[in-house]
Amino acid sequence: MTILRGVFPLLLALVLPGAMMAAGDGGARVMAVPIQPNVGVAIDLTASDNPNDAGGVINLEWAMDSGGVEPDSIGVVRLDPSGEADTLAVLPAGTVFYRDTTAVNGTEYTYKIVSYLGGKVAGVSETATAVASAQWLHSGRIGMLVILSIMAALILYYIETGKKGKELYIREIGGLAAVDDAVGRATEMGKPVLYIPGIMDMDDIQTIASMVILGRVARKTAEYGTTLLVPTSRSVVMSVAQEVVKEGYLQAGRPDAYVKENIQYLTDDQFGYAAGVDGIMVREKPAAIFLLGTFYAESLILAETGRSVGAIQIAGTAMPSQIPFFVAACDYTLIGEELFAASAYLSREPKLLGSLKGQDAAKLFFIVLIVLGVIASTVGQFWPPMATVADFLRDLVTVE
């Protein structure tokens, strides 16, 4: 530190030409020094590791000495362990916060705030040191961790219950009950089934849910010997869809009927895809159309064209802005979570049914939480102790 105290002013003078360093202003904790009299300098400088991150970030905070002349600008100077000084930024006068995002984890840095007046160093603040580090646990997300853990435990419990043979009841979902009917209708009419899995990629949860339903539809079309067309908007979705359909045909004992070319990629472009699918609809005239996945502005274009060719349409999406169009133009619509429940409903697999039951338990938990929160907030207006309860409940579901 003694060496540091001596070297820092020298380095600062080298880095900032014209700097006039006050003797002894380097080092860990020295007082702010105005080099030119009556020039405001930064005081109460603190440096601290940015919390809840992967490291590499140090936050600097300070206050400006209000007395005297306001500097033109202020500079943030960092000194690394080897003694090398670096001006990280020159900030407008009045700035009191800076985030150093170039720190290396585990390295101790020393910081100073320099006041400039007329292009020269007019004052130097006290120094502050900090070490950047990564945190394994985000302290602002512990509530979410607890709730997710409870949900996971409930889901695992119900899955185990289902595996042991206990019947897990799921209420009837209108649109899903019509899946078999739609494929049957296409078979009777000798027309293909068109399956549209939305326009998003495989990292979208709705596309994943759609692929599970596609498996069921593929099995049915294989059993009935009906052609299944799946135009996709993403190449990865095409690959997954090919695998899913192939698996469905294998399960139905009809691997020979699988036609890879019926699952094709059109384009990533939203309206290019819509134009392509519309073309398929009017030329192939499918008897049943499934629109299941993530849709945006193309939803009504697709649903209206499907309606115009006389197909029975089953749609489902969790996009709130597109559901109205499907409700208006399709025969059956899976609203929001019904799309995610579809895989469990159709397959009746204990694993998926258990998962759905676990999610229902979570919904019940949230309903109770909301009701308690509303009661506590309302009563808390007139009786303060209940306001504390309301704050606690809100904190429980607050995520930073």
Partner 1 sequence: MNWEILGIWLGAAVTLCLYSFLYRDNPFYKFVEHLFVGMSAGYWVIYSIYNVLIPNWWENLFPADGGFDAIWLVPGIFAMFMLARMVPKVAGLSRLALGMIVGTGAGLNMVTFFQSNALAQVKGTMISVAAGSVWEVFSSLVLVVGVVSGLVYFFFSKAHTGFVGRTANMGITILMVAFGASFGYTIMARLSLLIGRCTFLIEDWLPTIPAMLGLGG
Site residues for partner 1, window 331-390 (CB under 8 A)?
A: 335-338, 341, 345, 356-357, 360, 363-364, 366-367, 369-371, 373-374, 376-378, 380-381, 390
Q: Is position 140 an interface residue for partner 1 (rule: CB under 8 A)?
A: no
Among 25, 100, 278, 331, binds partner 1 (CB under 8 A): 278
The residue (of 178 and 212) whose beta carbon lies closer to partner 1 is: 212
Q: Is position 397 an interface residue for partner 1 (rule: CB under 8 A)?
A: yes
* Cβ 100 vs Cβ 109: under 8 Å: yes
> Min. distance of Cβ 66 from partner 1 in angstroms?
39
Q: How far apart are the first and last CA of the chain?
A: 38
Q: Is position 215 an interface residue for partner 1 (rule: CB under 8 A)?
A: no
The residue (of 88 and 329) whose beta carbon lies closer to partner 1 is: 329
Distances (CA, A) of 141 to 253, 395, 398: 48, 10, 8
The residue (of 29 and 363) whose beta carbon lies closer to partner 1 is: 363
The residue (of 138 and 254) whose beta carbon lies closer to partner 1 is: 138
> What backbone torsions phi and psi does residue 329 show, to the nearest 5 degrees?
-110, -10
Q: Is position 107 an interface residue for partner 1 (rule: CB under 8 A)?
A: no
Q: Is position 167 an interface residue for partner 1 (rule: CB under 8 A)?
A: no
Q: What is the rounded CA–CA span in Å between residue 87 and residue 16?
A: 8
> Min. distance of Cβ 341 from partner 1 in angstroms?
5
Residues numbered 173-192 forming contacts with partner 1, rule: CB under 8 A: 173
Stretch that binds partner 1, among 27-35, 37-45, 73-81, 259-267 (CB under 8 A): 259-267
Distances (CA, A) of 119 to 18, 19, 21, 39, 264: 9, 10, 15, 13, 65
Q: Is position 298 an interface residue for partner 1 (rule: CB under 8 A)?
A: no
Among 92, 165, 190, 320, binds partner 1 (CB under 8 A): 320
Q: Is position 394 an interface residue for partner 1 (rule: CB under 8 A)?
A: yes
Among 20, 300, 347, 349, binds partner 1 (CB under 8 A): 300
Q: Is position 146 an interface residue for partner 1 (rule: CB under 8 A)?
A: no
The residue (of 130 and 240) whose beta carbon lies closer to partner 1 is: 240
3-state secondary structure of 199: coil
Calculate ∠ Cα 9-26-61, nearest 5°. 115
- The site that binds partner 1 (CB under 8 A) totals a number of residues, namely 72
Q: Which residues contact 116 (CB under 8 A, 6 or more apart)?
A: 71, 72, 73, 74, 75, 90, 122
Residues numbered 226-245 forming contacts with partner 1, rule: CB under 8 A: 236, 239-240, 242-243
Q: What is the rounded CA–CA span in Å between residue 391 and residue 373?
A: 9
Q: What is the rounded CA–CA span in Å between residue 247 and residue 215?
A: 7
* Cβ 349 vs Cβ 237: under 8 Å: no
Q: What is the rounded CA–CA span in Å between residue 326 and residue 278?
A: 16
Provide the mask over 59-98, with x wherever binding to partner 1 is found by CB under 8 A and - wherever it is not: ----------------------------------------
Q: What is the rounded CA–CA span in Å between residue 307 and residue 315?
A: 12
Residues numbered 110-129 forming contacts with partner 1, rule: CB under 8 A: none
> What backbone torsions phi and psi does residue 27 show, to the nearest 5 degrees?
100, 180
Q: Is position 327 an interface residue for partner 1 (rule: CB under 8 A)?
A: yes
